[in-house]
Structure 1
């Protein structure tokens, strides 16, 4: 099996020759190779080269085409600031009143901001990799995008003071998410990931997810399925345990689980979804090797035999030690031999 076949088999709950591996090496693919982060985040050819090299070095089965959390906000007109050794950040929220969302237009993925950079990178990965790896493109989820253009504290107060405004704002950002996700699917990537960290129960209570966020995600994935027949993927970081039954009802194929989630319990709730997780990415940053070995052993013990991809619950930090990732590969080789 090659990597693409391995991940697709896991998606179908079929037998695999070895456990599929998805280490979320986004910007880390650049920093670990000595590439300037701004170049990685603005030049599709740099992203492609770094991702292909990282997949080879760390035996990743997934090529992760993602930039940063500012892409959609920037495309909407938000001013961002780039840094040499960190991801860009937003100078200030784009809107200070939810009603101003009515003045915004859905950005064109083929011309707005750096959206075309990501689309081009996806196409180049598909062409240059020639079917060896599973290529996934990422779009930011509606809740997370709302925090980017309005501010997370403002969004929390809006939910309390004006629930209608909260609903209207997220309805708009959901359209942005859906439009970009559809464009990623049109390129032909093997998977479209909706990355929605701000929907975590660590930020909003499960009742908010049930009432406001889950219906939007349902609509996004249902509509995406109509035009895109490959793999739909959801990633919500933090302890998503309280909302797992709601995630189970979504029309999607794969779910990333972060390290606070009990993998065994989640696998039972998400019995019809392929699960990916839930190595703590901080182990690669500051964890001792015995901690990394312990984390891997725990995941292998809790993980399913079928329908499971070993991976990190979120992105690997930019300043992680590449030797820790290489050590993980050594451990996996020992386990499979």
Structure 2
């Protein structure tokens, strides 16, 4: 099996030759290779070359077509600031009143901001990798994008003061999510990830997820399913345990589990959805080698033979130690999970 075959088998609960490995390597592909991060985030050629090199070096089954959490907000008109050794950040929210969404338009993925860079990177990864690895295209979920253009604190107050405004703002950002997700799917990526960290119960109570967020995510995934045969993937970081049953009701194939979620409990909740997790990405930082060795056996013991991918609960930090990722490969080999 090559990486793509292995992952697709896991997603469909079929036998695999070894446990698939999803290390979510985005900007770390650049920093680990000595490439300036702004170059990686603005030039598709640099991103693709770095992704292919990282997949080979760390024997990863995953290629990530993603830029940063500002790209959709930037496409809407938000001003961002690039810094040399970190992801760009938003200077100030795009809007300070939810009603201003009436003055905004859904950005064209083929021309707005750096979205064309993302789309070109997807196409190049698919062409150059030629079906060897699982290529995922990533877009922000509606809650996270709303937090980007309005500010997370403002979004929290809006929920309390004007629930209708909260709902209408998320409905708008969900349209942005839907538009980009459909374009990524049409390009032929093997999976589309909705990255929705701001929907975490660590930020909003589970009832908010049930009433406001889950229906929007369901609409995105159901719409995708009508014309897309690839993998629908949802990632919500933090301790998502309280909302796991709600996530199970979504029309999706793959769910990321972050390290605070008990893997055994999640396996009970998701009998027919493939799970990816739940290695703590912080274990790859310098000085965490011993803790990585201690945590891996417990994670593998809780996993299952079918419908499971060993992976990081979210993105590998930019300042991770590459030797720790290489050490993980050695540990897996020693446990007869040959890579």
- State the secondary structure of the residue aligned to 1:82: strand
Which position in structure 2 is the counterpart of 1:267?
Answer: 267
Counterparts of 1:20-31 in structure 2, within 5 Å, are 20-31=20-31
Shift of 1:298: 1.3
User: Could you say if the C-alpha distance between residues 232 and 287 of structure 1 is closer, same or farther in structure 2, counting changes exceeding 3 Å?
Assistant: farther
Segments of 5+ residues of structure 1 without an aligned counterpart are: none
Shift of 1:286: 3.9
Which position in structure 1 is the counterpart of 2:302?
Answer: 302
Shift of 1:294: 1.6
- State the secondary structure of the residue aligned to 2:192: strand
Query: Normalization by structure 2: what TM-score?
Result: 0.99
Which position in structure 1 is the counterpart of 2:222?
Answer: 222
Q: Name the CA distance, whole Å, in 1 between partners of 2:175 and 2:41.
A: 24
Shift of 1:282: 0.3
Counterparts of 1:190-269 in structure 2, within 5 Å, are 190-269=190-269
Q: Name the CA distance, whole Å, in 1 between partners of 2:219 and 2:6.
A: 29
1:142-172 CA-partner distances (Å, limit 9, x unpaired): 0000000000000000000000000000000
Which position in structure 2 is the counterpart of 1:164?
Answer: 164
Pair 1:93 & 2:93 matched: yes
Q: Name the CA distance, whole Å, in 1 between partners of 2:225 and 2:81.
A: 35
- State the secondary structure of the residue aligned to 2:87: coil
Which position in structure 1 is the counterpart of 2:65?
Answer: 65
- State the secondary structure of the residue aligned to 1:278: strand
Shift of 1:289: 2.1
Q: Name the CA distance, whole Å, in 2 between partners of 1:160 and 1:87.
A: 31
Q: Name the CA distance, whole Å, in 1 between partners of 2:113 and 2:231.
A: 26
Q: Name the CA distance, whole Å, in 2 between partners of 1:74 and 1:253.
A: 29
Shift of 1:228: 1.1
Which position in structure 2 is the counterpart of 1:55?
Answer: 55
Counterparts of 1:70-219 in structure 2, within 5 Å, are 70-219=70-219
Which position in structure 1 is the counterpart of 2:327?
Answer: 327
Q: After TM superposition, what 4+ stretches of structure 1 lie above 3 angstroms from structure 2?
A: none
How many residues align structurally? 337
Shift of 1:184: 0.4
Pair 1:281 & 2:281 matched: yes
Segments of 5+ residues of structure 2 without an aligned counterpart are: none
Q: Name the CA distance, whole Å, in 2 between partners of 1:28 and 1:179.
A: 27
Shift of 1:288: 2.7
1:23-81 CA-partner distances (Å, limit 9, x unpaired): 01100000000000000000001000000000000000010111100010000000000
- State the secondary structure of the residue aligned to 2:276: strand
Q: Name the CA distance, whole Å, in 1 between partners of 2:53 and 2:184.
A: 22
- State the secondary structure of the residue aligned to 2:47: helix
- State the secondary structure of the residue aligned to 1:87: strand
Q: Name the CA distance, whole Å, in 2 between partners of 1:322 and 1:56.
A: 13
Q: Name the CA distance, whole Å, in 2 between partners of 1:99 and 1:217.
A: 22
Q: Name the CA distance, whole Å, in 1 between partners of 2:28 and 2:282.
A: 13
User: Could you say if the C-alpha distance between residues 285 and 17 of structure 1 is closer, same or farther in structure 2, counting changes exceeding 3 Å?
Assistant: same
- State the secondary structure of the residue aligned to 1:229: coil
Shift of 1:287: 4.6
Shift of 1:290: 2.1
1:171-200 CA-partner distances (Å, limit 9, x unpaired): 000000000000000100000000000000
Q: Name the CA distance, whole Å, in 2 between partners of 1:8 and 1:299.
A: 21
1:263-299 CA-partner distances (Å, limit 9, x unpaired): 0110110111100000000010145322101221111
